[in-house]
Structure 1
Amino acid sequence: MDDANPTKFFIYCLSTKAKYILQKNEDCNKDFLERLYKEKKLKDKFINHCLFILDIYFYFLSQLEVGATLHFLTQQDLIGYDFFPEELPDAYIAVETKDGTDKYFLELFDDYQNKQSPGSIRFSTRKYINYSGDGSWEANTNNSPFPAILFVLPNERRRQFANHYGHAKLVKTWEDISLFLTTQDMIRFSKSGQNIWQKVE
């Protein structure tokens, strides 16, 4: 732990020397290795954003039914898929069960890139409404249903704002969009089997 802040754990990253060791491993992604030169210069807000994406991944793992499979793709994984929104979601999630596959776009609203502001919430809501309407998803996925949208908000106040704004926009569109909201604390302190998502209706 950090002596200056005992509630904060140390965060370790691979140094540039690791690149030359790992590049001999054929299973190691070469694009990932190129990023090692920049890892030590990243800001705390970005690091905390990525760590909370990891918390969300662990949340989904904890909720998996027996026999289900989780696919969790981050922004980095989505680069190269040209039919996703131009501004990529924080994650694309697919949960395969015996009854089918549920798909989600995930947006995490926090202080990274000032994304917890009301303006960011409004922008993201409109982004998915427009994306649903342009037909890119259906054209590239054999007309599979549009994924549900998951917003993880920083606090209850922002969740209420997203609910009111989302409702106002969704009632005016013909698109079949499912938008679900939760807060970071609900993710952090959720229990197995607990439904933490509020549907915007």
Structure 2
Amino acid sequence: MDGPPTTTPRRTSGGPVLQDEVTEAITAAFFAELADVGYGRLSLDAVARRAGAGKAAIYRRWTGKQPMTVALLSEVAIAAIDVPDTGTLHGDVRQYLATAREALEHPLVSRIVPDLLAEATRNPELAEALLGAVRTPRRNKAALLLQRAIDRGELPAGTDLETGLDLIGGPLYWRLIVIRSPIDDAYLDRLAARIVGGLLV
């Protein structure tokens, strides 16, 4: 197996070179710390200690706790949404669900997401930032799945995309994050069929 690709260190505007391995260590430490203590108790000092880096290394990359949280969550959350074109609406929905299941079943994610949702109810500024940087781009990306079905003629041109996106994402989130029930492949097959049926109503 080939090793990791060689990357060129990044430089901040007028500032020092940012070493990718340090960024990766800080990122991993951030998510581990966030899962352990939650957003409210998260401190950049603790993240730096866990990463084996100086606090200044964090501030060279992000201006504070909230900007760091929003940036890293946005990067990971948007990358986790995969919308490959399988050629059919059912195939696309089934693949979307499988990818989302994998992301939501990650041990860190299952601890981080409920905490952030609770924190967002107490912190309107954080809530607004997460909506703009995480929720909206994720929904826009997922909307490609429905638009492809419209373009293929599988869904009518007047399909309600907002309701359709809720229908695709809601049941999986409810089952895995809220009631914490396991999901196997057979359940995904049934759920994909029901979602497609609902979209066609």
Identify whether the pair has TM-score above 0.5, normalized to the shorter chain: no
More strand by share: 1
Larger Rg: 2
Short-chain TM bin = under 0.3
More helix by share: 2
